[in-house]
Amino acid sequence: MQKFDWNLIRNFLAALDGGSLAEAARTTKISQPTLGRHIDELEKVLGVTLFERGRMGMMPTKAALHIADAAREMKAASASLTMAAEENAQSVEGTVRITASEVVSTYILPQIISELLRDLPQIQIELAPSNAVENLLQRDADIAIRMVRPTQNDLITRKVNDMQMGIFADRTYLERQGPVTDFESLAGHTIIGYDRNDLILQGFNRAGFKIDRHFFRFRCDDQVAAMEALIVGTGIGFAPRVLARKYANLVEVLHGFPLPALPMWLTSHRELNTSARIRAVNDYIGEQLAKLDLA
């Protein structure tokens, strides 16, 4: 038998129980012509006549009465499926997949996730560290934390904080290589920067300093590796101030250099926001990120 729309069965039962298209239209809020077409389509699909139309209304045939019980079972199963889905959507339990940059995933989220797992015991978390913009529209993740605002219309996005950046160096490195007082004094120093990512280059160019990737003697697109290179004294690098404060050996240089803050955006898919577990995790993480002192 050909595949057919469940609405055909639903409207067949409405006509059967109502006794007429007029009564079925009243209960279903569907026009009589549409209901009539649905009945005709179902009769064509099943290869039987379901109603005899006359002055007395819609008289069901033996075929209609024969399939009525099966149709009612389908209706009950549909109701059960809908109810189960609604119950699952409102249940604060299950798995939530989060994606964030490598730095945020490594240095900021672990403490928040640790507390979340304690406070929401029925939740499981999958963390996907990635500097690539995961496509929430393709369900690569349920929640994303990004430093660039997503623009897709089907995403719900809110700004939760601003991460202030600074230029830092290890104390022993500065003692060995000499102080940094202005941009020109960077000459002769090892500068840590990105390899193929041009984010830092764009920041320098906007500030009026025309440089290329060779300005960075040590280049690495892995933010965590670059941060660790800074911590061990490889050279002068760029880091969120909130992270640099954790390391007593790091000293901020060029305080007046105009480094823009990185906005932190919390994003989820519009449909997923109707899920209680996604909403609970989204609200929890958003609240905790907003509390952080990232200046």
Residue 82, number of CB atoms within 10 A of its CB: 10
- Specify the DSSP class assigned to residue 261: P
Instruction: Check whether 1 has a pLDDT greater than 50.
Output: no
What is residue 209's predicted lDDT score, i.e. its pLDDT?
Answer: 83
Of 23-37, 71-85, 267-281, the poorest mean pLDDT is in: 71-85
**Phi, psi at 32, each rounded to 5°:** -60, -45
Taking the whole predicted model, whether its pTM rises above 0.75 is answered as no
What is residue 86's predicted lDDT score, i.e. its pLDDT?
Answer: 56
Q: How far apart are CA 180 and CA 82, in angstroms?
A: 65
Q: What is the pLDDT of residues 179-225, one digit of tens each?
A: 999 888 998 899 999 998 888 888 788 878 888 999 999 999 999 99
Q: Which domains does the chain have, with CATH numbers?
A: 6-89 (1.10.10.10), 94-163+262-291 (3.40.190.10), 165-253 (3.40.190.10)
Q: List Cα–Cα distances, 260 to 128, 251, 286, in angstroms.
A: 26, 19, 22
CA angle 82, 88, 91 (to 5 degrees): 145
Q: List Cα–Cα distances, 125 to 92, 97, 190, 269, 289, in angstroms.
A: 13, 6, 39, 17, 17
Q: How far apart are CA 265 and CA 252, in angstroms?
A: 26
Q: pLDDT category, 58, cuts 50, 70, 90?
A: confident
